[in-house]
Chains A and B, each alone.
Chain A
Amino acid sequence: MKENAELRNEREFPSGRRGQGVGARLPRKEDDRLMRGRGQYVGDVRLAGLQDVAFVRSPLAHARIRGIHVPERYRGSVFTAADLVGIKPIRAVSGLPGFKISEQPVLATGKVRQVGELVAMCLAPTRAEAEDIAASVTLDLEELPAVTDMLKAREPGSVLVHEHWGDNVFLETNYEVDISTARDAPIKVTREISTARQCMSPLEGRGVVATFDKRLDQLTLHSAAQMPHITRSGLAECLGMEEGQIRVISPDVGGGFGHKGILLPEEVCLSWLTMRCGHPVRWIEDRREHLVASSNCREHHYKITVYADHDGSLRGIDCEATVDSGAYSSYPFSACLEAAQVASILPGPYKMPAYRCRTFSVATNKCPILPYRGVARTGVCFALELMLDLVAAEAGLEPGEVRLRNLVRPDQMPFDNITKKHFDSGDYPEAMRRALAAIDVDAIRARQKQGEANGRRIGVGVSIYCEQAAHGTSVYSGWGIPMVPGHEQASARLTPDGGLELRVGVHSHGQGMETTLAQVAHEILGVDVAKVRIILGDTAMTPYSTGTWGSRSMVMAGGAVATACRELGERARRIGAKLLQHDPASVVLQNGEVRGVNGSVSLKAIAHTWYRRPQDLPADVDPGGLEVTQGYKPVRDSGTFSYAAHAAVVAVDPDLGEVEILDYVIVEDGGVLVNPLVVDGQIYGGLAQGIGTALYEEMPFDASGQPLATTLADYLLPGPTEVPAARLDHMETPSPYTQFGVKGIGEGGAIAPPAAIANAVNDALRPLGVELMQSPITPHRIVTAVLAARAAQRSAA
């Protein structure tokens, strides 16, 4: 086996297709500004008269508010819930039966339910002065016992986060197919598995600049948001305003990952404040606010039993999954999206005849859990893939063999699995076979037999997942949450000089949409991508969309752009035919011009005609002209299924607990890739986050509900030296349901690494009797387990 550095990009990347269309490996257009530090983020917005806001936040996890004392000199600069007359709390309801509703006041009323909950808003010319005011406000709080352990929170008699519920369960679900038939299986493995609470940590935090335009009677909210149209709907509900009175502008956004899809109480507060005080106001989230109060995710617990035959064939899975949803249901995804999804996606890409999964979304005195890249999939993949390694150990098989025996096969596509997920296409066993070959399991087994001179232990681990993406109306209508995606729209407009403007309601916060959507347009119209402008992130300038989430933008907005460009092309073709004095049936649009037997006319000339020389247009010209808005849905909206097999080799130091990733292979199938370079970037970024989940990131709480990682010195994120130069391999099985056969791939990179790395660590340590079933795998957890195993062996001896 070679060391990591020598393995860098050994395999050729897909070369990409020629030109600028779908499949071309183009550098990102937006990088010219982003990489030169010329991006414009919310923090760069400057408005005359702008003042800053700092919040007074609850120092306690659970307390009754007896009083809020503002020093005399600051009255008028401090606002509390009592000032916010007519402002409604944030309500994110699910239509699933039994869901209990939480109301999140934008400023606390009555009691506080998490550390960091907003209690008062302080206004000053600068943030530092606003923080001085916030520091001078004293809270009279009656501390209540806090609920911080989701399993204890489920027990009768627990302290209640929302008293009127009678318990702490947002939602309980149960899904079963014949689990009793699995119970006589010869292999039965039961474990408890958990993933830590994490914090999403985009480079840019949240931020809001709010202002009100009296002439337009319109509130303008600049917000680092990935779903601006949904933010507007949520704001209108809380503020009691018409949607047309609100404009949400989301400029450049420095990473979203789900955090920026959520309607924030801060957004509601600042909207109210600017209307109250008549000048622009700003709040920029700092890193402590981000860690403590805002963007937690991922905290899952599984009690899981896997049944299998001696040959590793799965007979069934029986699982009870609990998710710590925190104190409130966040808008628009609700507090149950994460746990309830677990039930439907736990089987992953595997076939099995029996299945049962109960799920619990539990309220605790922590901040609301939000959907983070991969959402429930990362936890589910961790749980199931760790269990499959235990099945392999019981059966005496290589972990890879157990996967190959149970993965859905290409000849079964399209495939409906046991939870009725509809797999559109793919060859899962081939991805696993390629990953096993690339990581070279045999060579690692040989190296393990030899042992390491430095006392470290080597291990190899694999994992595989499927990523349902861009799922639409038929899936989300059943959830009954405030947002159900329907047709995605795009507007395409030829400018008088032959350029192309595309307006879309999705956003781009690292995805490279300004490049990839231009490539889609080029594929249809042949316009040079340099002449294609993508306009996004502004409710006043773009068609309505639920925005960018769920790995949907390329499938949905890409499809909409293609559809709109086709219609635009058709209109141009008819004008071009007239200019060429041809029958429209005899001309084609090709490479940016309309061609007939006698010659060709460019889109630029056609645009010039429509706008500047209408006297030359055909009599029956489409009066809609060269501006088109079209809606799009895939042929089937149950989602595209991309997937990847990950394989990791690690070296573990059992005495220090240190883990080094020696090699990492990803074999990914994202359908047809619009831009392989962008896809590689998505996978690398996701891998970094997955490594964080596996080895570093954890937001611990003490028994009173105090978050213990309040700076980046305590909350560890992987840096460049912790992320290996992974080797990527692409398969490209087209989706039968989408434009060009594309699939959503935005989240996949973050799903599989925790499972692959944990399996590799366990493979390294299994001969010592060590098994780690909890993320992150920290040095302390490894050494604790090693010492426990040594003690057990001593007492057995």
Chain B
Amino acid sequence: MKPAPFAYERPRDLDAALSMLAASGGSAKIIAGGQSLGPMLNLRLVQPELIVDIAGLAELKRAEVSGGELVLGALVTHADIEDGRTADVTRGAMRGVAANIAYRAVRNRGTIGGSLSHADPAADWISALAALGAWVTLRSLAGARTLAIEAFIVGALESALHAGEIVEAIHVPMRAASAHWGYAKSCRKTGEFAHAIGAALIDPTAASARVVIGAIDTAPIVVTNAAELFGGRIAADYKQRFDTRVADALLARAGIDDAAQRHIHVSVLKRAVQEAAA
């Protein structure tokens, strides 16, 4: 389990990194924390000609609240968030998610931008940030563009990143004072990949809810207007009105044929809704 040969560059700034990516013509891979790419290289599942190590790019390590939203550089680590070294606009929601990602050793090195770019369906951020209504800034030499998380994650291990493009920052909106948050996942053992994730941001006052079912074989199911899951309206009694049959139908539509798998997903989502209501 040794990687195939590759060239290695460690650029000093983002422009240099983008130039290297552009020059590689799609044969480069970006490495940050290396928590997913490292094993994939060793298994020779990916054999890039060039590895661009962005770990030294200070401009991607910033974390600041600006204009009512949190802007996290792509190199912010899970541990940065878990330990409260970054500002928070989610009233602890992101900190709670971060604290349960894999193992501490992974959280020390793994980055939020890397996790999103890798787009593993079982990863936490793609589901949690979709529920929180976050979006990403993608940058290439041609400029920047923004995408909502649910538009950014296209499928299993598949994002909307173009060749030569990099996740620059993640923007997380302020969680309303009236918005409830619930996040649940089921792992076979501590720190293992989840086999079901449920995330819910429910604001009974605003009668709105974003609900995500994650850790399925494709991109998470993101329900931005989740009234249907709660019998047609979102109000203070949403916990009682949560309709498991609607969730089950969503999963069936997403191609999950196995009833037990659907049942576990629905049960996990129900936990998330209960946690939000608690």
Contact = CB atoms under 8 A, between A and B. Distances in A.
B255 interface: no
A714 to B, nearest CB: 9
A787 B195 contact: no
A126 B5 CA distance: 12
**Listed residue (B2, B5, B190, B192) with the most chain A CB atoms within 10 angstroms of its CB:** B2
B44 A127 contact: no
Interface stretch (A115-123, A390-398, A620-628, A653-661): A653-661
A655 B263 contact: yes
Contacts of B2: 126-128, 131
Contact of A779 (B43, B191, B264): B264
Interface in A120-167: 126-128, 131-132, 135
Contacts of A288: 1, 43
A132 B5 contact: yes
Given A719-B191, A779-B188, A655 B260 contact: no
Contacts, number: 64
Interface in B171-201: 186, 188-193, 195-196
A655 B44 CA distance: 38
A711 B42 CA distance: 11
Contact of A656 (B5, B39, B43, B264): B264
Interface in A738-797: 778-780, 783-784, 787
Contacts of B4: 131-132, 135
B39 A711 contact: yes
A212 to B, nearest CB: 26
B260 A783 contact: yes
Nearest to B2: A128
Contacts of A287: 1
A716 B264 contact: no
Nearest to B1: A286
B261 interface: yes
A701 to B, nearest CB: 19
B268 interface: yes
A598 interface: no
A355 interface: no
B268 A656 contact: yes
Contacts of A443: none
Contacts of A784: 259-260
A721 B260 contact: no
Contacts of A696: 188-189
B3 interface: yes
Given A131-B2, A286-B1, A779 B192 contact: no
A655 B189 contact: no
A718 interface: yes
Given A288-B43, A721-B189, A722-B190, A655 B1 contact: no
A48 interface: no
Interface string B244-271: 0000000000000011110110011000
B203 to A, nearest CB: 27
Contacts of B3: 128
A696 B189 CA distance: 9
B192 A716 contact: yes
A713 interface: yes
Given A132-B5, A287-B1, A288-B1, A780 B264 contact: yes
A696 B192 CA distance: 12
Contact of B267 (A135, A655, A711, A719): A655
A770 to B, nearest CB: 12
A648 B165 CA distance: 54
A288 B191 CA distance: 21
A779 B3 CA distance: 34
B189 A716 contact: yes
Given A128-B3, A655-B263, A780-B264, A721 B190 contact: yes
Given A127-B2, A287-B1, A288-B43, A783 B264 contact: yes
Given A127-B2, A132-B4, A132-B5, A711 B43 contact: yes
B204 to A, nearest CB: 24
A787 B259 contact: yes
Nearest to A717: B189
B202 to A, nearest CB: 21
A454 to B, nearest CB: 10
Contacts of A127: 2
Contact of B186 (A126, A135, A656): A656
Contacts of B44: 131, 135
A448 to B, nearest CB: 22
Interface string A715-740: 01011011000000000000000000
B61 to A, nearest CB: 28
Nearest to A781: B260
B218 to A, nearest CB: 19
Contacts of B190: 719, 721-722
Contacts of B196: 656
Nearest to A654: B267
14 contacts: A128-B5, A286-B1, A656-B186, A657-B264, A696-B188, A696-B189, A711-B39, A713-B39, A719-B189, A719-B190, A778-B188, A779-B188, A780-B261, A784-B259
Q: Which 7 A-B pairs have the closest CB atoms?
A: A128-B2, A655-B267, A721-B190, A784-B260, A783-B260, A286-B1, A131-B2
